[in-house]
Structure 1
Amino acid sequence: MCEELKLLKQGAEAKLFICKYLGKPTLIKERFKKNYRHPDLDSTITKERIKNEARSILRCILAEVKTPALYLVDFDRRRIYMEYMETSITVKDFIINVVKNVEENEDILNFIAKVIAESVRKMHDNNIIHGDLTTSNMLLVEKTPTKVKGDAKWLNHENLELVMIDFGLSYIDSSAEDKGVDLYVLERAFISTHNNYPKLFDKFLEYYKSYSKNNVKEILSKFEEVRARGRKRTMVG
């Protein structure tokens, strides 16, 4: 089924492989068996999580949020086959390694805040909770492939678009609080990983609020509640 299966990465929940599937560069996500769980329970939980991940990806496509294309779901092997973005950069690496070398970087940071806000807002408008919103789980790809090499490829932001990835913790829910938690997770990711740009999350929130008015006041109110609880836990230790 797959040609030249190669291990790309191993995480806490799954292994990632790359291969050629039907002639296309493909990423395979294979979830681990949890030996501490009863086999039947483990199978049920794993199937449900695979379903949630596939469902979220398909729902994102309908919401016009760019994600890797979904090729195949194999419950027996605990695998999801999806498009492998060969030429891409994570938003995390882009900010840390590319933006830092640009003297006038305000336009680029505004672009990053805007495209993240648009994608997250579209997901929330369609009740998709990502569950792990970090800049490691967002890719930048070229809209039109170029032959430009090195960092210069990523500086023409008019030719870039955002791709959301890793829906392993995602689910469908209309809860304003769950959407607020999504925002809080993203804020913590910005603070811990991109503290050189303290205004980045505020810019994101501005775009998030302006993109759609659907339930936004309630979501932001819940976000503030979650944030306050998080600060209280931090103070208590």
Structure 2
Amino acid sequence: MTTETYTPPPLPPPFHHTPSHQMHLITQGAEAHLYKTTYLSPSTPAALKIRPTKPYRHPILDRRLTRARVLQEARCLVRLVREGVNVPAVLAVDWDINNTNNNHSGGAGGADDGRGNGAWILMEWIEGCVVRVVIQRWERYIKSRSASGGSSGVGVGAKRQVDGEVKLQDNEIEEEEKKVKGLLRRVGAAVGALHKAGVVHGDLTTSNLILRGAEEPAAEGDGEGEGVSPDMQGEVVLIDFGLASQSIQDEDRAVDLYVLERAFGSTHPRTEPLFGEVLEGYRASYRGSGSVLKRLEDVRMRGRKRSMIG
């Protein structure tokens, strides 16, 4: 039986795969490919986000949409960096790869159907752990160490030994709750800073939040991780602004919060009752939060009605 050699997706110029410098594909989505690479020197990591062309779209429409989306993302990031929000800094961007390549090569190469070769944006690499992974690891730790062993709520443990395993006592669980509440408040504060700067994310989930400086947990299923409470120190950094836009509308901000709330319900059911801590952090960091949180109630009502109707 023969095995096929994996061929990574093609890279737009000036990037290319070489034996001495391999671009590491981090994730490949429907709209973009994310690579880990370097910037100026091998010791400076960077994130390269490529928006490839869509062969099924009309070439002119594809080029215009790709250009508009990568520029929108870059503008949002530049604005947020200027306002002091924790987001990756933009290092370089190219939205007209076909023309740029032709200019550098004297007209040779590149696509000739007007489609271009997509667009890319090079950003600061954020070293840390995804907030989704941190919270999920914390939930597994609490579940394995609580004497009740229940599947709902955080649980309490009055006993020290259960089935030969060391369990958490009430005061220890309270300390663990304080840790995760602190993290959730920092998440809310990060979203508040985002909205204060006049930007809405469009896809707020815990997968698009990174805890800068936090250690990557052990791989799931290797027997490690559940016996140690995860590190929750560090700044919360917002990432992936592919659906972001500049807006000062309370409706848009409330929808951002609602998307994050629903993400907690589906991804972190054990921590969902603590989502109020996110809103507390949001309220403390953003002066205009009152009207946004009031609008959030309306968005929740519409969401529930839509769920009932189907």
Q: TM-score, normalised by structure 1?
A: 0.89
Matches within 5 A, 1:41-190: 41-75=61-95, 76=97, 77-85=118-126, 87-101=127-141, 103=168, 104=173, 105-142=176-213, 154-155=230-231, 157=233, 160-190=234-264
Q: What is the CA–CA distance in structure 2 between the aligned matches of 1:123 and 1:7, rounded to whole Å?
A: 28
Q: Which residue identity lines up with residue 125 of structure 2 in the other structure?
A: Y
Higher strand content, 1 or 2 = 1
Deviation at 1:156, TM superposition (A): 5.8
Higher helix content, 1 or 2 = 1
Q: Which residue identity lines up with residue 165 of structure 1 in the other structure?
A: I
Matches within 5 A, 1:184-199: 184-199=258-273
Structure 2 regions of 5+ residues with no counterpart? Answer: 1-13, 16-20, 98-117, 143-167, 219-224
- Bigger drift between 118-127 and 18-27 goes to 18-27
Deviation at 1:155, TM superposition (A): 2.3
Deviation at 1:123, TM superposition (A): 1.0
Identity percentage of aligned residues: 37
Deviation at 1:81, TM superposition (A): 0.7
Deviation at 1:210, TM superposition (A): 2.6
- Bigger drift between 100-109 and 5-14 goes to 100-109
SS at match of 1:155: coil
For the aligned residue pairs, the C-alpha RMSD in angstroms reads 2.2
Asked if the contact 2:251/2:295 (under 8 Å) is kept, the reply is yes
Deviation at 1:142, TM superposition (A): 2.0
Q: Which residue identity lines up with residue 4 of structure 1 in the other structure?
A: Q
CA distances 1:206-231 after superposition (whole Å, capped 9, x unpaired): 221232322x2221222111111111
1:229 to 302, 305, 310: 302
Q: What is the CA–CA distance in structure 2 between the aligned matches of 1:232 and 1:78, rounded to whole Å?
A: 40
Q: What is the CA–CA distance in structure 2 between the aligned matches of 1:8 and 1:207, rounded to whole Å?
A: 31
1:26 to 46, 62, 72: 46
Q: Which residue identity lines up with residue 170 of structure 1 in the other structure?
A: A
CA distances 1:154-208 after superposition (whole Å, capped 9, x unpaired): 5262xx1111100000010111100011011000001100111132211111221
Asked if the contact 1:118/1:211 (under 8 Å) is kept, the reply is yes
Q: Which residue identity lines up with residue 284 of structure 2 in the other structure?
A: S
Q: How many residues align?
A: 230
Q: Which residue identity lines up with residue 293 of structure 2 in the other structure?
A: L
2:276 alignment counterpart: 202
Q: How has the CA–CA distance of structure 1 residues 26 and 202 changed in structure 2, closer, same or farther, with 3 Å as cutoff?
A: same
Q: How has the CA–CA distance of structure 1 residues 91 and 156 changed in structure 2, closer, same or farther, with 3 Å as cutoff?
A: closer
Q: What is the CA–CA distance in structure 1 between the aligned matches of 2:54 and 2:26, rounded to whole Å?
A: 21
Deviation at 1:153, TM superposition (A): 9.7
Q: Which runs of 4+ in 1 moved over 4 A?
A: 148-154
Deviation at 1:15, TM superposition (A): 0.9
1:8 to 5, 26, 29: 26
Q: Which residue identity lines up with residue 111 of structure 1 in the other structure?
A: G
Q: What is the CA–CA distance in structure 1 between the aligned matches of 2:68 and 2:125, rounded to whole Å?
A: 23
Deviation at 1:48, TM superposition (A): 1.0
Larger radius of gyration: 2
Q: How has the CA–CA distance of structure 1 residues 153 and 81 changed in structure 2, closer, same or farther, with 3 Å as cutoff?
A: farther
CA distances 1:131-165 after superposition (whole Å, capped 9, x unpaired): 0000000001229xx9x9966795262xx111110
2:59 to 28, 36, 39: 39
Structure 1 regions of 5+ residues with no counterpart? Answer: none
Deviation at 1:71, TM superposition (A): 0.9
